[in-house]
A and B are shown apart, each in its own frame.
Chain A
Amino acid sequence: MAIGHGQTRVHPRWWTLIFTIVVIFAAWLVGQSFNRSFRAYVPVTLMSDRTGLVMETGAKVKMRGVQVGRVGQISGGKQPASLKLEIDPDKVALIPANVGARISATTAFGAKYVELVYPADPSTKSLTTGVVLRSENVTTEVNTVFQNLVGVIRQVDPAELNGVLSALAEGLGGQGARIGEAISGANTVLVALNARSHVIREDWRLFRFQSALIRS
């Protein structure tokens, strides 16, 4: 035995057991800190009609472009969806309690994040635990845009539309100066008519009166 005498009070068997427990505990600790479970935060709830696609736990919560927390938990399915926001304690004092919220995306296809909108009339109280915020809106999903676009294209044959637009473009090409003149002329006419609109209205009224008289 390399340990020497008088030091084998604990049997090696127990040391292996202790070591195993330590390793399991360390693995658990690593897993928990990987998920940031030990970080202090202020829980705030955000209610929204829907959370939007690609809204995931761990998504950023930003205010004026600065990250102030993260999305901890998303529970949806039923209307309205609710998001648990975990706000950093050191930034919570700078956020008024009546802050607005909005779910936005970084790019058209990018992941969603929660944007806190600084209110026009900030309340003197700052955000505290358990405050419930309401989301103003969720960014339009890019697939909705495409879906609507497809609906339009189904109704209008793109080839025909192209032909019509080309013909129009050909007809209008090089006519800019004349079109401009025509618009200016029309404007002059309309200005002149506007000044006489009173008289025109009077004429119409008399015309209706006359025709009613004739009919009777």
Chain B
Amino acid sequence: MNRVAKFRPTGFERKISQWVAGWDRIGSQIQFHVKTLTSIREVFLYYRVELIRLVAQMSMGVGALAMIGGTVAVIAILTLSTGALIAAQGFSQLGQIGVEALTGFASAYFNVRILAPLTAEFALAATIGAGATAQLGAMRINEEIDALEVIGVRAIAYLASARVLAGLVVVVPFYCVAVVMTFFAARFGTTVVYGQSSGVYDHYFHTFLSRTDLIWSFAQVSIASVVIMVIHTYYGFTASGGPAGVGEAVGRATRASVLAAVLVTVAITLAVYGQSGNFHLAG
């Protein structure tokens, strides 16, 4: 009796073992991510057709989603609204100190540096990312992934790496749509709705629109898309507990990937732009 009592873990020991288990779980997740990224080579070697199929599926959507344009429509609508906000807030707030002419500057500056990338990343996580988790989770609980492994398919490369790569491929045209939409909405709101002269708007917009910033924002979104897809495929791949477990995995994946995407965006923004605005405001 005494011996048994001796081996019963105390509260502190239980906490430690939970902590170690959590640490190991993170480790296996990182291991999966690394495996996913290093298996991208195998996608090019063996699973090119699957890659193209995934790109088509992600970009325009299949089935019911294709009716409304899939992710493109979601991203376009989200970024239209952020661009319109720039016009609505920027024009009236800047107008209070008499510099509403700088609304074009606000559009060129804030849209490129933070609004368009973040909005596009959220849209990506919510549509393509969550979709990938749901697909892979369903395959996992139906033991389809095990079946793939049994017939000799490299499951991580075929399912996870291919989705990461497809996400990276489709994010570039998506982000183009996002940027064009924010610019269009901000310009439309300022010049048509508020009636600012389009010459004034275009002058300040083009003066402050930096091509380097635009290229960096593409890099930002591309890196974030890889992070998002890597996280979403992991949660789908390791889903368990039936259909409810798949739903839970989608929720966890979206939470983790949105957090990671924001952190990546903040880190890149801080590192690339630093303290300088890359423009000279004389005065």
Contacts and interface: CB of A to CB of B under 8 A. Distances in A.
Q: Do A and B bind each other?
A: yes
Contacts of B270: 30-31, 33-34
B238 interface: yes
Contact of B271 (A3, A12, A29): A29
Interface in A29-44: 29-31, 33-36
A57 to B, nearest CB: 10
Interface residues of A, number: 30
A19 B28 CA distance: 11
A35 B20 CA distance: 36
Nearest to A32: B271
Interface residue SS majority, chain B: helix
Interface in A4-38: 4, 7-8, 10-19, 26-27, 29-31, 33-36
A106 B23 contact: no
Interface string B200-241: 000000000000000000000000000000000000011000
Contacts of A3: 28, 31-32, 35, 156
Interface of B: 20, 23-28, 30-32, 34-35, 149, 155-156, 237-238, 267, 270-272, 274-276, 280, 282-283
Nearest to A22: B30
Contacts of B34: 15
Given A3-B35, A4-B149, A34 B30 contact: no
B27, B275, B280, B282, most chain A CB atoms within 10 A: B27
Contacts of A13: 20, 23-24, 27
A26 B28 contact: no
B57 to A, nearest CB: 23
B35 A34 contact: no
B33 to A, nearest CB: 9
A33 B31 CA distance: 28
A67 interface: yes
The list of the 8 closest CB pairs from A to B, nearest first, reads A12-B27, A16-B27, A15-B27, A33-B271, A12-B28, A15-B30, A19-B30, A30-B271
Nearest to A11: B27
A1 interface: yes
Given A4-B149, A16-B23, A16-B26, A10 B31 contact: yes
Given A12-B27, A15-B27, A16-B24, A2 B32 contact: yes
Given A15-B34, A107-B283, 17 more contacts: A2-B28, A3-B32, A4-B149, A8-B31, A12-B28, A13-B20, A13-B24, A16-B24, A16-B26, A18-B30, A26-B267, A31-B270, A33-B270, A36-B275, A58-B275, A67-B280, A106-B283
